[in-house]
Structure 1
Amino acid sequence: MFVYLLLLTVIVTVEAQRVPGQQKTDSCLCKINSSIWTFPAVEFMEVTRQVQICEDNLNEFEEKVRNTNAELPMMEATLQNISARLKAFGYLHTSGLYSALQLQQLNRELEEIHQSVNETHKQNPNKETHNLLSELNKAKNDVQRMYKDDFFNLETMKKRLRDLNNRAQSCKTIPNDFRSTCHQRIMTRISSPSMTKLNSISKSYISGAWGRDALLSSKEHYWEHCLVSGHKHGNTIRMYTSREDFMANRNYKDEQIAPSYSDKNAVQGSGTILYDNTVFYQCYGTAEICSFNITTKTTKRMKLDGAGIDNKFPFCYYSCRDWTDIDLEADPDAVWVIYATEENHGNIVVSRLDPLELNITHTWKTHLFKRSVTSTFMVCGVLYATRFVNTFQEEVFYAFDTTTGQEISSLSLPFEKVSSGIANLNYNPVDGKLYLYNDAYLLSYDTFF
């Protein structure tokens, strides 16, 4: 009798069983435990459960895919909206407005300010000029240490330089009548509109400017200037000899500033002002200021170095008002130009102009980003800035005193309007009123100090 070992492979459990057997005649007899072929019900249930989990996960994933596909158009629309809103600020990167200021340039600017303050100190020595010279010398020493140690924070130094420059500008010789008592008073309230009317041409002329001649000794001349050609250019100004005529749209005279609105002496933008029967405005297509004398029919020009134009630095806040890069305002004895430059990071720069010679006498640099502002106006050497509140309300929120160099960011002077867009806002020192060009509507306000 031979004993054979029968090797049986059980496929289900992937196990082998060794079974002893006996040979009888031509047969092999062995006992086999058939329980090893029992159906694996427990394992089957576990596999079934896993399959169900996979199926549920797959269904959940398919539902998420369907939801995502449904949301994609909304996400794309949101992305396009954000991209469109950010496009206006693309110059911050492409133009390198926030690139570090080179030490050599910083040193040159310090030297220029030091020379200016030193000359002022020689002419009129006082405590302020003495302190400024001391601070400038300290700043120059700090720059030299930057060269030596190769460790510096140029942006912080540039802010310090800007503050020193503003103080130096305030120390420079300014006519006595400029330093009147009014510069020490900050506006406290703006009335409801004392007058509201449409412009005299058409409701479609949504951009322009209007007001009264800002020279104290001038006759009662009211003026109105509406922009054409895409609310960008103009070449005439409408003049009235009385408020009654202005309100009734009668007895006016259209004075021609340039032969056409595409002439080199035509007006660009809504930052126009009338002072001493002379129109001051941005010249067509350039970073220049033009003055047109209505009496003599003569035009003067001056370059505004570094000023952004062609919607580089317009007034904005929620939405930008095109062609508002350069804004002109008037005081009793001066014309002011408000603009922004790359050198000042797109922040507002204020320059005082001699209206007769048409040249810049003083320049101040603020920390106020021009695109965060809807409009500006000047009162006795104090710059005021407004921002959008809602369609029917605006707010004066900021002031910069050119006499002291002080910035005030805590103002809250609300005033009403009839539409959302502001094309021009100017203060008139003759009657103490604010004049607003508000999407084709002309409004005026009383002011209180």
Structure 2
Amino acid sequence: MKLCVIIPLCALFSVSQQAALVEKCVCQLSSLEKTFPYDKLKTAENNASHCNNKITSQKAVELESLLLGLDRRLPQLEEDVRILEREDDGDLYGVLSLYVIENEIAAINQLINNLNTTTLRHQSLTVNTTQQLQYVRNEMQELENFDTMQVVKRQQANQRLKKDLDKCINGRHPTPPPTQPPHGICPHGAFMNITGPRVYTGGEYPGSYKYGAWGRDPKPEKGKESWYWLVMLTSSNIYAHYVRLYSTLSSLIVGVSVPGNFQIHPSNPTTNTIQGPNVVLYGGALYYNCYNRDAVCRFNLTTKSVTDVQLPKGTRYNSKGNFCNLDACYPYTDLDLATDESGVWLIYTTSQDFGNLVLTKVEEGEQPSLGQTWHTSMYKQAVTNTFMACGKLYATRYVNTDVEEIFYSFDTATGKERFDVGIFMNKMHANIQALNYSPVDHMLHAYSDSFLVSYKVQFESDDSLYRYIF
């Protein structure tokens, strides 16, 4: 007997359908990482691109062209006025000369208006760009948090390794030594910091003369090793005609000048007298910017004689290439004289260098001469002051009324520039009109709004000695 099993087709269909439903699987992916903000990245890229389009070299050239035009127009106006004066017959000036002068004045007024407009536009652009750059920086720092695989950090590490490898490879084939002895080799080691102020005094005339300079002779004559010198701009904060000497630091502080004044000329200002605050004393001679000239004068304190050396064509003088802070420039600071272990240096700028700092060694002798010259990429009007130490040029900038920063250096031995020195000075007054480094005692002498202030320069060897003793 055969058994037959009859299953309805509907039952089979139902079973197969249920089996198919069981095989389906739905997965839900849940990531613990934050979603990358592509919109912020795009905004940062757009802001950076906007800054690149706004800040161009043409902006600086535009301002430079206006200044150059004004610089050329003013001497021409002076010449036209002289011609007019010669044409004066007592009753009537030359009509044509008056017409020419009228046109010259109109053109100069137009240049000044354009210069003011351009300057205001650049100031506004600087403020806006600073805000944009700060925003971009903040955004990029936030975006680095999404670099969970540390790709950026590894790229930076790879770049450092590549630089180290290049140095290692190049080190196998060292470059030949320079033909001239390097100025930048410092027996004290690297410039590490400054401390102080150590000295703060108003001297004999507290608050009387805003501009000036002071310091010590790095190469004093016998018997004058403890002497200090002081130059005060006694005429219009621009000119001086004598240097004042003090036999000790104590006499300088209490204001007793012995042996007194060494006068360059009875009149002030006149030929060969001092123009501007940036002067130095070296080897018994005062080096300074000659009055109304693009030249360096040397006044011998023993013979009372003045010799000079003409500077290169295009050197800016008569307050056309000054040091500046955030709000204004220090007038007649075109030429800055400095001393260090190797002698006298001159810091200035020229039209050919588009306002960047130029450094020249001033060679000793009764007749001074110019030695080797170095050209930098540091814009002079972005600097408040400069000084030399161990063959290195250092530049300062205004931070606020209480702090000045040594932010830039240029090594004459290697030609290397640094923009991140990051050494801060505590100021006693808002402005520093002159800085002089003394290699005799490693002091940095500042003339600050008529007050005399000094700081101790700390070198690497001093730091090592300090750690060893303590």
TM-score by length of 1: 0.61
Shift of 1:295: 0.8
Shift of 1:228: 2.0
Q: Would you say the 8 A contact 2:186–2:391 is kept in 1?
A: no
Residue aligning to 2:382: 372
Shift of 1:332: 2.7
**Distance of aligned partners of 1:348 and 1:179 in 2 relative to their CA distance in 1, 3 Å threshold:** closer
Question: Partners in 1 of 2:185 and 2:193 — Cα distance?
Answer: 21
Matched, 1:260 2:267: yes
Give 2:239's match in structure 1, choosing from 233, 236, 240. Answer: 233
Question: Partners in 2 of 1:350 and 1:179 — Cα distance?
Answer: 13
* Identity percentage of aligned residues: 35
Matched, 1:210 2:220: no
Question: Partners in 2 of 1:192 and 1:423 — Cα distance?
Answer: 18
Aligned positions of 1:393-432 closer than 5 A: 393-432=403-442
Residue aligning to 2:342: 333
Q: Would you say the 8 A contact 1:238–1:255 is kept in 2?
A: yes
Shift of 1:378: 0.1
Q: Would you say the 8 A contact 2:341–2:389 is kept in 1?
A: no
Question: Partners in 1 of 2:415 and 2:184 — Cα distance?
Answer: 14
1:93 partner SS: helix
Q: Would you say the 8 A contact 1:321–1:421 is kept in 2?
A: no
Q: Would you say the 8 A contact 2:185–2:391 is kept in 1?
A: no
Q: Would you say the 8 A contact 1:216–1:430 is kept in 2?
A: no
- Name the aligned partner's letter for residue 406 of structure 1: K
Aligned positions of 1:41-60 closer than 5 A: none
Residue aligning to 1:181: 186
Residue aligning to 1:31: none
Q: Would you say the 8 A contact 1:215–1:333 is kept in 2?
A: no
Question: Partners in 2 of 1:179 and 1:343 — Cα distance?
Answer: 26
**Distance of aligned partners of 1:179 and 1:338 in 2 relative to their CA distance in 1, 3 Å threshold:** closer
Aligned positions of 1:65-84 closer than 5 A: none
Shift of 1:182: 3.5
**Distance of aligned partners of 1:197 and 1:424 in 2 relative to their CA distance in 1, 3 Å threshold:** same
Q: Which has the higher strand share?
A: 1
1:228 partner SS: coil
Question: Partners in 1 of 2:220 and 2:244 — Cα distance?
Answer: 20
Q: Would you say the 8 A contact 1:215–1:332 is kept in 2?
A: no
Question: Partners in 2 of 1:314 and 1:292 — Cα distance?
Answer: 23
- Name the aligned partner's letter for residue 220 of structure 1: S
Q: Would you say the 8 A contact 2:244–2:257 is kept in 1?
A: no
Q: Could you say what the CA RMSD is over the residues aligned between the two structures, in angstroms?
A: 2.4
Question: Partners in 2 of 1:216 and 1:259 — Cα distance?
Answer: 26
Matched, 1:284 2:291: yes
Q: Which moved further from structure 2: 381-390 or 195-204?
A: 195-204
- Name the aligned partner's letter for residue 340 of structure 2: D
- Name the aligned partner's letter for residue 285 of structure 1: N
**Distance of aligned partners of 1:439 and 1:407 in 2 relative to their CA distance in 1, 3 Å threshold:** same
Give 1:269's match in structure 2, choosing from 263, 268, 276. Answer: 276
**Distance of aligned partners of 1:244 and 1:186 in 2 relative to their CA distance in 1, 3 Å threshold:** same
Question: Partners in 2 of 1:354 and 1:215 — Cα distance?
Answer: 14
- Name the aligned partner's letter for residue 358 of structure 1: P
Question: Partners in 1 of 2:63 and 2:184 — Cα distance?
Answer: 41
Matched, 1:93 2:99: no
Q: Would you say the 8 A contact 2:184–2:411 is kept in 1?
A: no
Question: Partners in 2 of 1:258 and 1:214 — Cα distance?
Answer: 25
Question: Partners in 2 of 1:216 and 1:171 — Cα distance?
Answer: 30
Q: How many equivalent residue pairs? A: 289
1:427 partner SS: strand
- Name the aligned partner's letter for residue 248 of structure 2: S
Shift of 1:217: 6.6
Give 5+ residue unaligned stretches, structure 1. 1-85, 98-167
1:245 partner SS: helix
Superimposed CA distance per residue, residues 339-379 of structure 1 (whole angstroms, 9 cap, x where no aligned partner)? 01110110000000112141111000000000000000000
Question: Partners in 1 of 2:417 and 2:243 — Cα distance?
Answer: 35
Shift of 1:248: 1.7
Question: Partners in 1 of 2:196 and 2:63 — Cα distance?
Answer: 38
- Name the aligned partner's letter for residue 353 of structure 1: V
Residue aligning to 1:354: 363
Matched, 1:248 2:254: yes
Residue aligning to 1:45: none
- Name the aligned partner's letter for residue 386 of structure 2: T
Residue aligning to 1:200: 204
2:253 partner SS: helix
Matched, 1:345 2:354: yes
**Distance of aligned partners of 1:361 and 1:203 in 2 relative to their CA distance in 1, 3 Å threshold:** same
- Larger radius of gyration between Structure 1 and Structure 2: 1
Question: Partners in 1 of 2:316 and 2:425 — Cα distance?
Answer: 29
Question: Partners in 1 of 2:341 and 2:265 — Cα distance?
Answer: 27
